[in-house]
């Protein structure tokens, strides 16, 4: 049994296709298939059920793959320990970040981070939370920037800060007659939401009430994954939405006038770095945390050492 063979079976499990796995491992498909066959012969089991498309692991294969991922992470940790002792930051660093954070948080710190660690090749992907968790488990990204708590087995959370919610309403909307808004004000018709799959949509629905339904007056349904699209629709149409505070900081005066804060205590979302429980690149992750916290706008509150505050989930 070799680390290379374990790498190959993990690649097949990740991509569920032998040819794609071979390409990702930079070998030919016959080479990959032969090494996996040798491993299966040695173990006396089938790791994969090749009769199904896409290929899936057998029941025993699932247990073998889980252990293989742990072994590969442990093996990769050894050269990292040496690099960390030399304070030698280099290699790939893959970050997944949710779309309702990416355009508003990244500009504050990513330039400084890349400039401080020029030998690190940073790869950033916008992903919904479910994809972040899946890619962390499959070793396809190193860290995620998401809203927590997730309560996912095998995922470690490092809380960073709490970000308040604010209401954004059209000029003609009754919400703008108020100095502050409450959860009860959100029961009125005209709420614009992101598409299913975005955690921010779920948080907004939880804040408004899980059983909230339209009263039937709305004839337009529009699904989008972009907060900016919601803002522009409200500017030209009607209704209201909720926004994370970072999304409002670059607004012009006209849009700032359409914002309303919540009554105290304001609902917030908790933003965290998340990693696999046996995470690698620990020094880089700590450096990422420090860079984020050093460049946050002063209005954003960091998570205290005493624990979490109440947040919308």
pLDDT value, residue 208: 62
pLDDT confidence of residue 226: 77
- The residue with tokens 């972040």 is 132
pLDDT digits (tens, 9 = 90+) for 251-300: 999 999 999 999 888 888 899 999 988 777 888 899 999 999 999 988 78
* pLDDT computed for residue 195 by the predictor: 59
Q: Is 283 in the same domain as 141?
A: yes
Mean residue pLDDT of the chain comes to 84
Q: Which residue has the tokens 């950033």?
A: 124
**Per-residue confidence (pLDDT) for residue 220, from 0 to 100:** 39
Q: For residues 122 and 166, state if they share a domain.
A: no
Handedness of CA 298, 304, 310, 313 (dihedral sign): positive
Q: Are β-strands 259-261 and 268-276 bridged in parallel, bridged antiparallel, or unpaired?
A: unpaired
Q: State the burial class of residue 52 (Cβ atoms within 10 Å of its Cβ: 0-12, 13-18, 19+).
A: exposed
pLDDT of residue 230: 83
Q: pLDDT value at position 307?
A: 42
Give the three-class secondary structure for 304.
coil
| Residue 77 pLDDT | 80
User: Do 105 and 129 belong to one domain?
Assistant: yes
Note whether 17 and 62 are same-domain residues.
yes
Q: How many structural domains compose the chain? A: 3
Q: Supply the pLDDT for residue 236.
A: 87
For residue range 167-181, list pLDDT tens digits in order: 999 998 888 999 998
- If phi > 0 it is left, if psi is from -120 to 50 it is alpha, else beta; for residue 188 that is beta
* pLDDT at residue number 217: 45
User: Which domain CATH number covers 184?
Assistant: 3.40.190.10
Query: Which residues of the chain carry a pLDDT beneath 70?
Result: 84, 86, 188, 194-225, 301-313
> Do both 70 and 8 map to the same domain?
yes
Supply the pLDDT for residue 137.
87
Same domain, 226 and 253: yes
Picking from 81, 109, 132, the residue at the C-terminal end of a domain is 81
Do residues 153 and 286 share a domain? yes
pLDDT value of position 205? 58
Which position has the token pair 């059209």? 170
Decide which of 50, 81, 112 is a domain's last residue: 81
- Domain hosting 55: range is 3-81
Residues 176, 121: one domain? no
Helices (H) and strands (E) in the chain, counts: 10, 10
Say whether 122 sits in a helix, a strand or coil: strand
Same domain, 182 and 255: yes
Q: Which residue in 132, 255, 242 sits closest to 192, CA to CA?
A: 242
Strands 240-244, 48-49: pairing is: unpaired
What CA–CA distance (Å, rounded) separates 99 from 181?
26
Give the span between the Cα atoms of 147 and 271, in whole angstroms.
5
Residues 194 and 210 both lie in one domain: yes
Task: Name the domain boundary from 49, 81, 113.
Answer: 81
Token couple for 10: 């993990």
CA distance 144 to 221: 31
> For the whole model, what pTM was predicted?
0.73
- Note whether 303 and 225 are same-domain residues: no
pLDDT at 310: 40
The CATH code of the domain that includes 55 is: 1.10.10.10
Are both 135 and 204 inside the same structural domain?
no
Residue 34 three-state SS? helix
């Amino acid at each position: 049994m070799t680390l290379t063979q374990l790498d190959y079976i993990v690649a097949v499990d990740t991509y569920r296709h032998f040819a794609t796995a071979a390409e990702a491992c930079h070998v030919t498909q016959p080479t990959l298939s032969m090494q996996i066959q040798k491993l299966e012969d040695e173990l006396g089991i089938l790791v994969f059920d090749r009769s199904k498309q896409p290929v899936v692991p057998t029941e025993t294969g699932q247990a073998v793959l889980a252990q293989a991922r742990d072994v590969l992470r442990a093996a990769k940790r050894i050269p990292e320990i040496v690099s960390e002792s030399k304070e030698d930051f280099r290699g790939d660093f893959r970050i997944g970040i949710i779309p309702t954070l990416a355009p508003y948080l990244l500009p504050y710190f990513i330039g400084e981070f890349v400039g401080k660690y020029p030998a690190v090749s940073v790869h950033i992907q916008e992903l919904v939370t479910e994809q972040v968790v899946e890619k962390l488990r499959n070793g396809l990204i190193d860290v995620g920037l998401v809203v927590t708590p997730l309560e996912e087995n095998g995922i470690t959370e490092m809380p960073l800060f709490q970000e308040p919610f604010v209401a954004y309403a059209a000029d003609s909307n009754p919400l703008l007659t108020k100095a502050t808004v409450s959860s009860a004000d959100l029961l009125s018709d005209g709420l614009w939401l992101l598409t299913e799959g975005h955690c921010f949509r779920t948080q907004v629905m939880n804040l408004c009430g899980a059983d909230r339904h339209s009263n039937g007056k709305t004839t337009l349904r529009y699904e989008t994954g972009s907060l900016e699209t919601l803002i522009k629709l409200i500017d030209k149409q009607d209704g209201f939405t909720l926004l994370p505070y970072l999304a409002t900081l670059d607004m012009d005066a006209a849009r700032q006038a359409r914002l309303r804060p919540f009554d105290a205590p304001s609902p917030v979302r908790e933003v965290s770095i998340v990693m696999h429980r046996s995470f690698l690149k620990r020094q880089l992750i700590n450096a990422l945390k420090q860079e984020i916290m050093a460049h946050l706008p002063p209005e954003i509150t960091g998570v205290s050492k005493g624990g979490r505050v109440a947040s919308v989930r």
